[in-house]
């Protein structure tokens, strides 16, 4: 159905751009440096500006050829099926990395897709609201956990199964 599925990495430690620059310059491997792509994009240039200077700025779209992503290459053309861009979602933090299927870029949907992420970040105050909501819904509260363990203990008792909670878990539950 061609729905764009976007990977959002708030604090990326990727070095794909640095690796590409190292390959072009012939300076060697970018793995030995403490610099990451996101921090590179926040460095001030000679004129005092940054590469991504304003909220909502993004880099160009890059095709990912990272080692280890061979499963995400087209078997016939060997072209990458995933790419990335960096998006400045706050004024004071490094940009977020967006991993995006290449068809989104190739079929002209990149701007629309990134605009949807920008809108989510406005509502979520710098982090996509939809991800914040999903995280909140996925968390099991202490009350839910207690109810689950009671039901599990009742089931184990009724079925004559040997079930007990570790002392460590009981200790943590008392202190939290």
pLDDT by residue (tens digit) across 143-159? Answer: 888 888 889 888 988 98
**Cβ-based neighbour number of residue 124 at 10 Å:** 15
Query: What is the arithmetic mean of pLDDT over 100-119?
Result: 95
Instruction: Say what the alpha-carbon torsion angle 127, 128, 134, 138 is, to the nearest 10 degrees.
Output: -20
Q: What is the mean pLDDT of the chain?
A: 86
Taking only the tens place, the pLDDT of each residue in 15-59 is: 888 888 888 887 766 566 778 999 889 888 899 888 888 999 999
Question: In whole angstroms, what is the distance from residue 176 CA to residue 165 CA?
Answer: 16
C-alpha torsion sign, points 20, 121, 11, 137:
negative
CA 67 to chain centre: 18
**Cβ-based neighbour number of residue 64 at 10 Å:** 17
């Amino acid at each position: 159905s061609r729905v764009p599925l976007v990977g959002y990495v708030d604090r990326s430690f990727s070095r794909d751009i640095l690796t590409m620059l190292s390959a072009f310059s012939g300076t060697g491997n970018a793995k030995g440096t403490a610099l990451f792509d996101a921090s590179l994009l926040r460095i001030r240039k000679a004129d005092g500006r940054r590469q991504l200077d304003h909220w909502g700025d993004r880099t160009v779209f890059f095709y990912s050829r990272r080692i280890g992503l061979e499963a995400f290459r087209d078997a016939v053309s060997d072209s990458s099926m995933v790419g990335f861009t960096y998006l400045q979602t706050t004024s004071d933090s490094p940009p977020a990395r967006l991993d995006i299927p290449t068809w989104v870029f190739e079929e002209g949907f990149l701007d629309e897709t990134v605009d949807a992420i920008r809108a989510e970040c406005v509502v979520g105050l710098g982090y996509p609201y939809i991800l914040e909501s999903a995280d909140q819904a996925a968390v099991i509260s202490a009350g839910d956990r207690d109810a689950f363990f009671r039901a599990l203990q009742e089931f184990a008792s009724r079925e004559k199964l040997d079930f007990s909670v570790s002392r460590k878990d009981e200790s943590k539950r008392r202190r939290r």
